[in-house]
Amino acid sequence: MHNIKVDINFAVKSSLKSGLDSIEIDEYKDKANIGYQKLLKLVDKGDIGFPKLVDQALDNITAYAKKKLGKFNDLVVVGIGGSSLGLEAIVNALLPHGYNSLTFSERGGFPRIWIADNVDPYKIQWIMKNCQPSDTLVCVISKSGGTVETVSNFNILYKWLSEEVEKPKDHIIVITDPEKGLLRKWSEENEIDTFFVPKNVGGRFSVFSPVGLVPASLLGLEIDKMIEGAKDFIATNLQQALVLSAIYIFYIEKGYKINVLMPYTSRLSKFADWYCQLWAESLGKRYDKDGKEIFFGTTPLKSVGAIDQHSLLQLFKEGPDDKVFTFIEVLNHDADKKIVSVMDEEVDYLKGKSLGELLNYELYATELALKNANRPSVKIVTDIIDEYRLGYLMMLFMYVVPIVGLYFNINPFDQPGVEEGKNYAYGLLGLRGFEDYIKKFEQGYLKLDEYII
């Protein structure tokens, strides 16, 4: 059983001038319900598949991970966006800080983890310098199978493997679409171990597909617990998604422009990055579903407490009143440490308190300071962080975001806005079929020297 609560006190009228009154709470829950009913229809029709992932059998993934256990010192995951952010969130939340510096036996025979997302030569170079091809498993993930960053990084790593090991195919796993794309074709032709992302599961909703589960299982994480958490959320607590969506819808209608996710734990820092993609690509849309131009969306912003109290909080409290805050509180921090006072009597007030307590007191203080400035916030409270809770939280947000989008009559499941830039890049790189984009690029990318100082 979980112990995750959604606390909306500081977004309602009894505490906050701009908050929802009790009539508005019901009214906006009804609005959220409209979005939810639309989501249910899409799921029932089979158009959208992420909620159904909680019913998948996991044996093939766990058996595969077991087969590989102890055989590799390093796991390099190649992927970007929805093909890497979910895993990053999992690794950041559930593996020890500095995991890669533990010894093989301290890691229980599980590999170190490297995520090759960006095509930054610096990053890929250091991954290759740190790993030995003979001891490395490369897991390449791409739903479309052709994302240029992923294909480029993978080609470099494939060559690196081929030059050193006899059977590079034994060092590769592919995770991609079951039918389409370059990666699928290649993995089939070369008989590479391949897992599939269901066709009706888009990248940013794919963390509970092999995209997140295969690497997580290879790292020894309990993926069944993650799925159990996600499943329990759907089975028992959809109300929480409706309430959160109601609050977000209310403030979007009021013209609030920024949605801040601020966990008070570094372990959820990458979770906030994952959330930013989920929110931005799902909710930033030029057209509604009827083709009307609406330029819809609010901007997600990652912030980590208490770190950003020393960076962003000044703006949050005294800058424009255009942000809705979602805090995440962890009641019991793992390996919590008592603070000692050895420096001076001045720090005696800290003696006996723990770091976790300090973090949480700082959260309460920030909540109140923002409330006093009439800034709306909600808080998700979890007792601990583990596979189960992470699964629960991810599924909660994977419901909230489409509910908000569908209520506003936009399509939260596509991302047409990223295409134009990709096409120019393909044109510049000389990809066949994209010749027109070279011309368009040359016509549009005009810069005058006088404005380059």
CB of 81 to ligand G6P, least distance (A): 3
> Does 157 participate in binding ligand G6P (rule CB under 6 A)?
no
| 205 vs 327 by CB, closer to ligand G6P | 205
Please select the residue that binds ligand G6P; options are 73, 92, 136, 150, rule is CB under 6 A: 150
CB of 115 to ligand G6P, least distance (A): 13
Distances (CA, A) of 282 to 234, 238, 384, 400: 20, 20, 29, 11
Query: What single DSSP character describes residue 260?
Result: E
CB of 9 to ligand G6P, least distance (A): 35
Alpha helices for 208-334 (secondary structure H): 210-218, 223-236, 238-253, 269-283, 313-318
Query: Positive or negative CA dihedral for 329, 332, 336, 340?
Result: positive
CB of 79 to ligand G6P, least distance (A): 6
Q: Tell me, by CB under 6 A, how many residues bind ligand G6P.
A: 14
From 88, 149, 281, 367, the catalytic residue: 281
The piece of 10-18, 116-124, 144-152, 316-324 that touches ligand G6P (CB under 6 A) is 144-152
Query: Could you say which residues in the range 398-437 bind ligand G6P, by CB under 6 A?
Result: 415, 418
> Does 143 participate in binding ligand G6P (rule CB under 6 A)?
yes
Residue 219 token pair:
């790292």
Which residue do the tokens 């030059």 mark?
Answer: 163
> Does 328 participate in binding ligand G6P (rule CB under 6 A)?
no
Phi–psi pair at 73, nearest 5 degrees: -85, -25
Residue 106 token pair:
């301290």
CA pair distance 453, 441, nearest whole angstrom: 23
Q: Is 163 a catalytic residue?
A: no
The piece of 103-111, 139-147, 239-247, 359-367 that touches ligand G6P (CB under 6 A) is 139-147
The piece of 143-151, 287-295, 317-325, 348-356 that touches ligand G6P (CB under 6 A) is 143-151
From 52, 68, 199, 422, the catalytic residue: 422
Cβ burial, residue 430 (10 Å; 0-12/13-18/19+): exposed
CB of 320 to ligand G6P, least distance (A): 29
Q: Is 422 a catalytic residue?
A: yes
Please select the residue that binds ligand G6P; options are 281, 329, 386, 387, rule is CB under 6 A: 281
Which three-class secondary structure state does DSSP give residue 448?
coil
Please select the residue that binds ligand G6P; options are 73, 92, 136, 142, rule is CB under 6 A: 142
From 167, 292, 310, 447, the catalytic residue: 310
Could you give the angle at the alpha carbon of 248 between the alpha carbons of 244 and 249, nearest 5°? 115
CA pair distance 273, 88, nearest whole angstrom: 9
Question: Which string of x and - marks every residue 90-129 that binds ligand G6P (by CB under 6 A)?
Answer: ----------------------------------------
Instruction: Let me know: does 137 contact 75? Beta carbons within 8 Å.
Output: yes
Residue 83: closest CA among 151, 124, 143, 153: 143
CB of 140 to ligand G6P, least distance (A): 9
> Does 215 participate in binding ligand G6P (rule CB under 6 A)?
no
CA R_g for the chain: 23
Q: What would the 3-class secondary structure string for 288-311 be?
A: CCCCCEEEECCEEEECCCCHHHHC
CA pair distance 161, 168, nearest whole angstrom: 6
CA pair distance 349, 233, nearest whole angstrom: 40
Question: Which string of x and - marks every residue 167-206 that binds ligand G6P (by CB under 6 A)?
Answer: ------------------------------------xx--
74-78 and 112-116 strand pairing: parallel
| 179 vs 318 by CB, closer to ligand G6P | 179
Residue 218 token pair:
């290879």
Question: Which string of x and - marks every residue 64-83 that binds ligand G6P (by CB under 6 A)?
Answer: ----------------xxxx
| 142 vs 309 by CB, closer to ligand G6P | 142
- Residues with a known catalytic role: 281, 310, 422
What is the contact surface with ligand G6P in residues (CB under 6 A)? Answer: 80-83, 142-144, 147, 150, 203-204, 281, 415, 418
